[in-house]
Structure 1
Amino acid sequence: MGIWAWPGDSAPGPRLVPTELRDRDPEATPAARRVYATLAGLENDARRGRPSRTLIGQHVELQNERYNAEYGDYRGTKQPGYYYRKARDITGKLPAFLELDLGPGYGQPGWAVGEARSYNRAWPSCRRAWGYVEDAVDLAAGVWAGLPRADDGSYRPSGTHRECATGTEVSLPDNGGRPAGLVGFSFHQPYPGSPVKGFPQTRHRDSPAAKDPGWFGRVVTEGTPEHLALLHDLAFLADHLGYLAGRGVPVLLRPYHEMNTAPGHGFWWAGQDPAAFHRLWQLTYDYLVHRRGLHNLVFVWSPNSWNGPYGRDPRPYYPGGRYVDVVGVDDYSDTPAEPFGGGAWTEVWYRGLEEYRRPRIVAESFHVPLNAHQPRTLSRTPWVLWTVWGQALTYDNVSEPRGKNTAADVKRTYGSPKVTIGGHAAERTPWAEITTQDVT
């Protein structure tokens, strides 16, 4: 497959993106509207050629931080939010955006939680290796409103709580006790009906789709056992997002990412018939927004980088503007030292996403945007948001031998005037305004 580019537009002036979330969800919460308006404003500034900034983000895998001693830049289990804090350890500054993951779990049977709370009592509690779920919810609330948050009732003013299943003392990071940034969730969902919830069950080759070509169609067909299993999974997601909605926390939700991966590879939802994928996205949207009343969500669609052999043309998989607020790319096809497509690093993806008229983000990358190889990335491609994947901030992933972030790279990025960072005390972080200001 060749590289596809943004088609020409004969209309004069830039093609600006919508700025009002109520165009998609008339009942969108004021906080969600503010977050989306902020992202859309940055995108439109870039499209007009005005000075713009990129929100620097960090993804964390709490199940790995909590329970996987082999994960990250040293051997041993870590406190939740280890890689949220790591940027501050290196630079003295926090990321402006934190993405967490409610799935896939850590290889345990069925969905469960660590501690029974008002929003998760429908699920088995005090289960080993499930306490990270409450940590994810607490950390999301705390990034939006400030940590520690004693009034949550979920952990002590010190920022600690004791895990039910093991008695382990768990400590959440302190970010100053005031609004510190935006939050999002991905959902590496094990295949519907999976008896074990873990990363292997997210993969196509370990799901029924690998042997049964009709299975995915049954997942998106109402009334089938496979569809009921899907709704069971979505109920787990909705219960936790619903707690955040009740506390006024808007969430950038990024489901079913990398859907354009070549058939037979990637996740169980990837490489499927595009019409069936649209159905999966739309019924997930309808369940969360209409059935569960979650109007705190900003929906993010992020295909894999479409380099040809692994990531295919994503356009057939776009669910449409009625269901998507932000578009992005999971970019593992190129590196700062070896850009793909012959142009500037990430430029082929940046231009390719322009036609959707939505804020554009790098949803996943091993690399920070500004580094020794590419110190001017954000001048050529002023992405609205750029999220570094988990341990890649400091760790040379064994599957990615082509380089890693150095401390100098991280400092260059977090110190750049083209980047917006997190934390209440920083110069370029108007989080209190985004959290509380009125939207007309």
Structure 2
Amino acid sequence: MLRRLRTALISALLLLPLLATAPSAVAATAAPSDPQATPAAAQALDWLAQLPNRAGNRVLSGFFGGYSGSTFSADRTTTDGQPTQLGKLQTATGQNPGLLACDYAANGSSSIDTSCNSGLINWWQQGGLASVSFHAPNPAQPTGGLFVHLDDFAQITDPTTAVGKQWHATLDQVAAGLQQLDAAGVPVLFRPLHEMNSTYQQAFWWSGQQRSDFIAVWRNMYTYLTQTKGLHNLLWVYSSLCDTSDPAGYYPGAAYTDIVGLDCYPADPSAAQGYDAMTALGKPFAFAEIGAPTDNNLTPPAADPNSFDFRRWSDAIHHRYPATSYFLSWNDSWGLTQQIPDGAKALMNDPWTVNLGELDRSARTEAAGPARPADPVELLNGFETGADGWTAYNQANGPLQVNEWSSQGSSSLRADTDLSQQKQLFLYHHGQFDLSAYATLSAAARTAPGGNQAGGATAKLYLRTGSGNAWYDSGATVIGPDGVMLTVSLAGIPNLNDVHDIGVDFTPATGATGPASVYVDDVTAARPATLLADFETGVEGWSNWQTINSVPWSVTEWAATGTHSLKSDVMLDQRHESILNRHYSTPTDLSGHLTLSVTARTAPWGNQAGGTTAKLYLRTGPSCSGPLTWYDNRGQSVDSNGTRLFLNLGGIPNRDQVCEIGVDFVPAKGASGQSSIYLDNATLR
């Protein structure tokens, strides 16, 4: 199958007619899943999505205020003057959380209570954000059935069934509460049916269901609340349990989700599993519940007070989970106020933490990097919003934006043809383009499986330049239903600042007959690479940290290019990161580049368990001997085949003050034995 191109700078370069130079990178807008979302909801989501890209305050603090009508309070003291849990938090840390959450249904309750709304409205008016979850009553056993598996789960979408009728009655009560918040102008981070992937003995009635059934129930609930009930103030939070199998396996889809999160209570936050799977979904990420560790589920015997240091969470977010938009601490014995006081104070006063009074919900920030790793290419046309100015020649129909096939994203461009006519079909974009800064031009091309293709159609990616419209192409390549990547080297082509046409020429095989379709997707341009290190002559100034060897060395046993790579040995069962890096004594200027890339590898020996994750990073600062700010690509799985890592530099502040670049290798939980890590071919584009 065609390798999917992961392109990062869509908004940085959309080549349109008359565009002469590429604009500087700008932050991408996070659009709500609900097209009718209120302006306040859209603004809140965009702010949260951009928050991790800040150089300073970048993670919103959150706190669970309690169960509505039971333990919830947005006040700092009770009516008799005793401190509430929120009041204890303020006393212990000097801070109030930026996000306050309540639950419409206490554990085991058979009814919905929405009296916490007044506190959430007040919190919003103070400048904070609000979140609502509900430990939904079991529609087959409303009293005491929270942890009783519902065998008729799929039926709850049908209100003519007994469980469906009860479920919709619950949703109606929830909707009434959410409508009060909507009327007050409050956007809500709405977190229903959390921890759906739990396999613990006391899992919720909706946990561990058939994945297709869960997705259908979520989507039905989404449609019911947004369309039937007209609730457009909701930001939908999909929150699974960390350290449990496949946290993204129940994901209902981008059109039904705004934020993805993990509920996480590990003894070692830096070892929690699930972050990479969730951030790969491309949505803002949060730790939707954190707390002191428990035995094996979320309703255990109380954790020992003053036993857990929340500085572990601060360190983990800095070094393991920098894409985190917010964390939400649970209360009671799991909460900040019941544990080591200095740890709670450190987390709430961490330089990255944003508390109440520090939110600017209308602020925008420049993007420091994509949610997922990006190739060193720039998207010219991806056809996600239409034909993008492309047209066709010799077609029977089209061109059409379609979603029946794509090499990246969800859409591509299609044109229909009659193979029997033996005509060349052209899909192309006519305009004036400047490709002088680029080294290659590429596009994905495909034919539909229909029709008699005979020997198979061929395709050429081409461009025409200069006053004479000189033609240059990739050469004819046989294509089929799996698709191929066509590439033109731009080296030596004159007049690249005066390109008039970019297109694909499809030619049917002799003897082909019948109707067929052709497709184009992901037209991209790549900048020339600047080599930083290939280790052909030694370590080239690179060093290591937390490895067996005191220094790395250049070896010939593996290489991504050339004959050498950089190697160091590691112990997997120590469960700590190992780093290969290049530290500069004075700041280095990378401001003229868009992408940093390197190939990373692990040796095939050692028990890799779930596989090692590698993060390509850089650190910036005005002095390379002083405090530095960390930016990374949020991690990719690497193995003995080698994986190309990419870090989008667009939007990273102070790119003229780079003091360190490197790769942080993190072994999987359960990994053991000795292994080795490698790097090769570090480049800039």
Give yes or no for TM over 0.5.
yes
CA contact (8 A) 1:329 1:364 kept: yes
Alignment pair present for 1:92 and 2:25: no
SS of structure 2 residue aligned to 1:95: coil
In structure 2, relative to structure 1, the CA distance for the partners of 1:226 and 1:15 (3 Å cut) is: farther
Superposition deviation, residue 394 in structure 1 = 4.5
The residue aligned with 2:177 is 240
Of structures 1 and 2, the one with the larger relative CO (CA 8 A, separation 6+) is: 1
Pick from 376, 380, 401: which aligns with 2:315?
Answer: 376
Q: Which amino acid aligns with 1:25?
A: D
Alignment pair present for 1:314 and 2:261: no
Q: Percent identity?
A: 27
Pick from 206, 227, 230: which aligns with 1:293?
Answer: 230
TM alignment of 1:165-180, pairs within 5 A: 179-180=126-127
SS of structure 2 residue aligned to 1:302: strand
Superposition deviation, residue 410 in structure 1 = 1.4
CA contact (8 A) 2:92 2:337 kept: no
Query: Take 1:373 and 1:315, find their aligned partners in 2: how far apart are those partners?
Result: 25
Q: Which amino acid aligns with 1:111?
A: S
The residue aligned with 2:644 is none
Superposition deviation, residue 312 in structure 1 = 2.1
Query: Take 2:241 and 2:104, find their aligned partners in 1: how far apart are those partners?
Result: 20
TM alignment of 1:20-31, pairs within 5 A: 20-22=30-32, 24-31=33-40
Query: Take 1:370 and 1:264, find their aligned partners in 2: how far apart are those partners?
Result: 27
CA contact (8 A) 2:57 2:354 kept: no
CA contact (8 A) 2:120 2:130 kept: yes
Q: Which amino acid aligns with 2:284?
A: P
Query: Take 1:288 and 1:394, find their aligned partners in 2: how far apart are those partners?
Result: 33
Query: Take 1:79 and 1:224, find their aligned partners in 2: how far apart are those partners?
Result: 49
**Structure 2: runs of 5+ lacking an equivalent:** 12-26, 73-77, 294-307, 364-685
The residue aligned with 1:127 is none
**Structure 1: runs of 5+ lacking an equivalent:** 1-7, 68-75, 114-132, 146-178, 397-404, 435-440
The residue aligned with 1:33 is 42
Superposition deviation, residue 81 in structure 1 = 9.3
CA contact (8 A) 2:235 2:258 kept: yes
Pick from 315, 323, 335: which aligns with 1:393?
Answer: 335
The normalised TM-score by structure 2 is 0.44
CA contact (8 A) 1:301 1:328 kept: yes
Query: Take 1:106 and 1:258, find their aligned partners in 2: how far apart are those partners?
Result: 16
Query: Take 1:95 and 1:388, find their aligned partners in 2: how far apart are those partners?
Result: 9
SS of structure 1 residue aligned to 2:255: coil
Pick from 305, 315, 323: which aligns with 2:256?
Answer: 323
Between Structure 1 and Structure 2, which shows a larger proportion of strand residues?
A: 2
Query: Take 2:292 and 2:10, find their aligned partners in 1: how far apart are those partners?
Result: 29
Pick from 220, 223, 226: which aligns with 2:157?
Answer: 220
Q: Which amino acid aligns with 1:202?
A: L
Superposition deviation, residue 18 in structure 1 = 6.2
Superposition deviation, residue 285 in structure 1 = 0.5
Pick from 362, 365, 384: which aligns with 2:290?
Answer: 365
Residues 23-49 of structure 1 deviation map (CA, whole Å, 9 limit, x = unaligned): x22211011011001011124x27xxx
SS of structure 1 residue aligned to 2:288: strand
Q: Which amino acid aligns with 2:91?
A: D
Query: Take 1:185 and 1:86, find their aligned partners in 2: how far apart are those partners?
Result: 22
Stretch moving more, 83-92 or 32-41: 83-92
- CA RMSD after TM alignment: 3.3
The residue aligned with 1:430 is 360
Residues 203-241 of structure 1 deviation map (CA, whole Å, 9 limit, x = unaligned): 125xxx2xxx4x212223342121111100000100000
Q: Which amino acid aligns with 2:47?
A: T
CA contact (8 A) 2:154 2:217 kept: no
CA contact (8 A) 2:248 2:278 kept: no
In structure 2, relative to structure 1, the CA distance for the partners of 1:112 and 1:386 (3 Å cut) is: closer
Q: Which amino acid aligns with 1:266?
A: A
The residue aligned with 1:409 is 343
Query: Take 1:80 and 1:226, find their aligned partners in 2: how far apart are those partners?
Result: 42
TM alignment of 1:1-80, pairs within 5 A: 10-11=5-6, 13=8, 19-22=29-32, 24-43=33-52, 45=53, 51=56, 53-62=58-67, 66=71
Q: Which amino acid aligns with 1:96?
A: G
Superposition deviation, residue 105 in structure 1 = 6.5
SS of structure 2 residue aligned to 1:11: coil
Residues 167-198 of structure 1 deviation map (CA, whole Å, 9 limit, x = unaligned): xxxxxxxxxxxx231000011001115453xx
Alignment pair present for 1:418 and 2:423: no
In structure 2, relative to structure 1, the CA distance for the partners of 1:364 and 1:81 (3 Å cut) is: farther
Residues 231-282 of structure 1 deviation map (CA, whole Å, 9 limit, x = unaligned): 0000010000001101110000000000011286410111000111011101
Residues 70-93 of structure 1 deviation map (CA, whole Å, 9 limit, x = unaligned): xxxxxx999999223332121221
Between Structure 1 and Structure 2, which shows a larger proportion of helix residues?
A: 1
The residue aligned with 2:443 is none
Query: Take 1:26 and 1:363, find their aligned partners in 2: how far apart are those partners?
Result: 24
The number of equivalent residue pairs is 325
The residue aligned with 2:111 is 111
Superposition deviation, residue 430 in structure 1 = 2.4
CA contact (8 A) 1:191 1:268 kept: yes
In structure 2, relative to structure 1, the CA distance for the partners of 1:372 and 1:92 (3 Å cut) is: closer
Query: Take 1:324 and 1:142, find their aligned partners in 2: how far apart are those partners?
Result: 26
CA contact (8 A) 2:66 2:102 kept: yes
In structure 2, relative to structure 1, the CA distance for the partners of 1:9 and 1:104 (3 Å cut) is: farther
Query: Take 1:83 and 1:241, find their aligned partners in 2: how far apart are those partners?
Result: 24
Query: Take 2:80 and 2:167, find their aligned partners in 1: how far apart are those partners?
Result: 32
The residue aligned with 1:356 is 281
Query: Take 1:328 and 1:415, find their aligned partners in 2: how far apart are those partners?
Result: 22
Superposition deviation, residue 371 in structure 1 = 3.7
CA contact (8 A) 1:27 1:295 kept: yes
SS of structure 2 residue aligned to 1:271: coil
The residue aligned with 2:510 is none
Superposition deviation, residue 95 in structure 1 = 0.2
Query: Take 2:336 and 2:85, find their aligned partners in 1: how far apart are those partners?
Result: 9
Superposition deviation, residue 319 in structure 1 = 0.2
Q: Which amino acid aligns with 2:316?
A: T
Say which one has the larger Rg.
2
Superposition deviation, residue 313 in structure 1 = 1.1
Superposition deviation, residue 345 in structure 1 = 4.1
In structure 2, relative to structure 1, the CA distance for the partners of 1:9 and 1:389 (3 Å cut) is: farther
The residue aligned with 1:172 is none
